[in-house]
């Protein structure tokens, strides 16, 4: 047995660790005087090894962590038990010569100050670690709670917990301790939360109930089931229901996840939707614990091939006709026209028994026409407003994007609305009104009222540090074939956004936007065809370097209102008040400084142009 003692401080009363290797695969770290954290050195290129804090709590399970072998990319904190009692950490599979054994540290603090050049300045993101789907979003007592899929032990997917942030204005977010920790049932996958005003579940009035999927693998086979936890302190902490799991698939389907619970007044019942491979299943309950199967929707509908995930279900009143209709959000992976994951929706009717869409099975409607809009779900208990937030990434390359401190961010909050165009119902997404509070100052733009071939403003964006909002209202002449704008920097990085009036499209092209080569490391789903996304995308180079587009047929009239938000590593475009939304990641090597406007084939009238510096 090899023993190595490490002193973490030169003080005489310093906490110490003893590292023991009882055999070739197991390492035991005995911590004699614990501090708050054990800081684990991470090397992303290494395979995962198993780490656990030895204890009798359900959350003291084996974690999959990429501990450093040759060099250190960053540290992550492993929280030790409260108090100063001795603690033991075990590691399986890490070679004795790994640099981790020399560099592992004890500390009472962990530095989460922003160091990542690409971490957004005004969008929600965790202070460190990996984030994907938003979960359990709920509004209670003036506070918006945003839970999310979270891996606090690395910048790649794994070790799924529910992270937690809260806000009073949807803009300024406070980060909290983990809300739900993985346990013996497995990872804590996605779900939603509701306010049990009447105490129907038996945990008391106004309890917050969180429904989530437990995910595990047994004998190489995936197992997923729905579970329940409740909070009696306004969502700060949760207690898992002793009767978990509360719902398992009746046919043994392995992809059975992401519960969405909602109230259906005509039946005076609670309903749950669960994604089950390529369909959504409806269940009904009177007590929020026992659930009975009702029906299913989705087989053969929408974009294919795909895996249905992260459903949402709500009513919207059509702003065009005044009629109220049901909307089903279906996040799919793969299935995006440009490759990978995307958010699809269906509009139709629901009678408590089945959902019937208005569209034919082969029709796919997209909530966002970018490549980095996924897992959008809406807040519970927001009254007449339907407010959604997406995860901004794509499963093709989410694990290899060039972030260094936190990998994963959310899009701006957006109010969803329903409108009719040419007899078809569509869902739009406009930035929530709270977003205007981000405007710190309006920046002067010197632009003519008519755009000819080109207007170039070399320093228009200088000093904004890629955190700005640009609003344009323009009317192309009858002969105009293309009108657009280009953001660029001195390194040649550029982001063109243009209206192709001949093809009736609006396009955002990120093929020269900055760092793009990591797209060659993308891992498309095995159901996906390269030919498909090459065909449907524009200027396809790799799975990241691609241009995305939306049909201008969703707009009305010949005047176009564009609202563009840029925040370091992301660009969100809203057209005609949200009839078109387009969200894409970008990684410029230096902030964009130059703004160029151009018009081809004819002039374009510029009615207004407003530029704002944004910040918290």
Residues designated catalytic: 133
Residue 517, judged by CB atoms within 10 A of its CB (0-12, 13-18, 19+), counts as exposed
Domain spans of the chain? 2-107, 438-614
Check whether 539 has a pLDDT greater than 90: no
- The more confident residue out of 299 and 535 is 299
pLDDT at 56: 82
Average pLDDT, integer, range 367-372: 98
**Which of the residue ranges 179-193, 252-266, 535-549 would you say has the lowest mean pLDDT?**
535-549
Average pLDDT, integer, range 139-154: 98
Q: Tell me what percent of the residues of the chain surpass a pLDDT of 70.
A: 96
- The more confident residue out of 59 and 534 is 59
- The residues, any chain, with a CB within 8 Å of residue 159's CB and separated by 6 or more, are 63, 64, 65, 151, 152, 153, 182, 187
Residue 479, judged by CB atoms within 10 A of its CB (0-12, 13-18, 19+), counts as exposed
pLDDT at 373: 98
Q: What is the pLDDT of residues 553-582, one digit of tens each?
A: 999 999 999 999 999 999 999 999 999 999
Check whether 406 has a pLDDT greater than 80: yes
pLDDT band at 524 (very low <50, low <70, confident <90, very high): confident
pLDDT at 334: 87
Say what the pTM is.
Answer: 0.95
Single out the residue of 382, 392, 572 nearest to residue 470, CA to CA. Answer: 572
pLDDT band at 10 (very low <50, low <70, confident <90, very high): very low
Check whether 8 has a pLDDT greater than 70: no
Average pLDDT over all residues of the chain? 94
Average pLDDT, integer, range 220-236: 96
Q: What is the pLDDT of residues 305-363, one digit of tens each?
A: 678 999 999 999 999 999 999 999 999 998 888 999 999 999 999 999 999 999 999 99
The two beta strands, 467-476 and 604-614, are antiparallel
pLDDT at 530: 60
Exposure pattern of 271-301 as b/e (b: 16+ CB <10 Å)?
bbbbbbbbbbbbbbbeebbebeebebbbeeb
Single out the residue of 413, 427, 415 nearest to residue 325, CA to CA. Answer: 427
Identical topology for domains 2-107 and 438-614: no
Q: What is the pLDDT of residues 81-96, one digit of tens each?
A: 887 688 999 999 999 9
* CATH hierarchy code of domain 438-614: 2.60.120.560
CATH architecture of 2-107: Sandwich (2.60)
- The more confident residue out of 478 and 305 is 478
- For the CA atoms of 138, 255, 149, 238, the dihedral, rounded to the nearest 10 degrees, stands at 60
Check whether 1 has a pLDDT greater than 60: no
Check whether 9 has a pLDDT greater than 70: no
Determine the Cα–Cα distance for residues 444 and 431; give it in Å rounded to an integer: 23
pLDDT at 532: 63
Determine the Cα–Cα distance for residues 480 and 470; give it in Å rounded to an integer: 22
- What tokens does 476 get? 């192309």
pLDDT at 2: 35
Determine the Cα–Cα distance for residues 260 and 312; give it in Å rounded to an integer: 6
pLDDT at 55: 87
Q: Could you give the residue ranges of the DSSP H alpha helices within 333-444?
A: none
Contact present, 530 and 524 (Cβ < 8 Å): yes
Check whether 7 has a pLDDT greater than 50: no
The two beta strands, 129-140 and 406-407, are parallel
Check whether 221 has a pLDDT greater than 90: no
């Amino acid at each position: 047995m090899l023993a190595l003692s490490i002193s973490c401080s030169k003080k005489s009363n310093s906490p110490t660790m003893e590292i023991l290797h009882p055999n070739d695969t197991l390492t035991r770290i005995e911590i004699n005087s614990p501090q708050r954290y054990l800081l684990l050195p991470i090397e992303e290129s290494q395979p995962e090894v198993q780490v656990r804090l030895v204890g009798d709590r359900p959350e003291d399970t084996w974690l999959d962590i990429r501990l450093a072998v040759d060099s250190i990319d960053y540290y992550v904190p492993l929280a030790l038990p409260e108090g100063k009692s001795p603690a033991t950490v075990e590691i399986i599979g890490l070679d004795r010569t790994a640099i981790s054994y020399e560099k592992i540290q004890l500390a009472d603090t962990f530095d989460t100050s922003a160091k990542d050049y690409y971490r957004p300045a005004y969008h929600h993101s965790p202070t460190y670690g990996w984030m994907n789907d938003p979960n359990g979003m709920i509004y209670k007592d003036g506070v918006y709670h945003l839970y999310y899929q979270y891996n606090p032990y690395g910048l790649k997917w794994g070790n799924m917990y529910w992270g937690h942030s809260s806000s009073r204005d949807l803009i300024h977010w406070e980060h909290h301790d983990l809300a739900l920790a993985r346990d013996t049932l497995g990872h804590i996958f996605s779900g939603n939360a509701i306010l049990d005003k009447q105490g129907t579940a038996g945990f008391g009035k106004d309890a917050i109930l969180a429904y989530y999927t437990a995910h595990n693998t047994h004998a190489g086979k995936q197992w997923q089931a729905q579970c329940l936890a409740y909070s009696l302190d306004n969502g700060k902490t949760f207690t898992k229901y002793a009767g978990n799991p509360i719902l398992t698939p009746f046919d043994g389907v392995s992809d059975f996840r992401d519960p969405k619970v909602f109230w259906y007044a005509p039946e005076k019942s609670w309903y749950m939707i669960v994604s089950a491979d390529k369909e959504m299943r409806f269940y009904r309950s009177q007590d929020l614990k026992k659930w009975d199967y009702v029906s299913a929707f989705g087989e053969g509908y929408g974009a294919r091939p795909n895996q249905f995930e992260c459903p949402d279900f709500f009513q919207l009143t059509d702003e065009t006709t005044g009629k109220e209709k049901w909307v089903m959000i279906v996040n799919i992976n793969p299935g995006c026209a440009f490759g990978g994951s995307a958010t699809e929706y269906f509009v139709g009717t629901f009678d408590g028994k089945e959902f019937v869409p208005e569209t034919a099975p082969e029709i796919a409607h997209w909530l966002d026409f970018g490549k980095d809009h996924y897992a959008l779900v809406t807040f519970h208990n927001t009254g007449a407003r339907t407010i959604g937030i997406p995860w901004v990434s794509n499963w093709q390359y989410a694990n290899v994007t060039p972030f260094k401190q936190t990998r994963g961010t959310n899009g701006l909050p957006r109010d969803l609305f329903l409108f009719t165009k040419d007899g078809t119902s569509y869902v739009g997404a406009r930035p929530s009104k709270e977003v205007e509070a981000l405007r710190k100052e309006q920046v002067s733009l010197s632009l003519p009222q008519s755009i000819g071939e080109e207007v170039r403003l070399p320093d228009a964006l200088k000093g904004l540090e890629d955190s700005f909002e640009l609003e344009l209202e323009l009317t192309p002449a009858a002969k105009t074939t293309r009108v657009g704008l280009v953001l660029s920097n001195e390194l040649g990085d550029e982001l063109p956004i243009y209206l192709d009036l001949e093809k009736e499209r609006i396009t955002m092209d990120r093929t020269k936007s900055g760092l793009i080569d990591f797209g060659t490391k993308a891992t498309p789903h095995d159901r996906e065809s390269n030919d498909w996304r090459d065909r449907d995308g524009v200027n396809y180079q790799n799975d990241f370097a691609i241009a995305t587009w939306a049909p201008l047929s969703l707009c009305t009239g010949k005047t176009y209102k564009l609202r563009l938000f840029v925040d370091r590593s992301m660009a969100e475009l809203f057209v005609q008040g949200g009839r078109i939304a387009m969200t894409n990641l970008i990684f410029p090597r230096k902030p964009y400084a130059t703004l160029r406007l151009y018009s081809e084939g004819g002039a374009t009238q510029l009615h207004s142009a407003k530029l704002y510096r944004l910040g918290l």
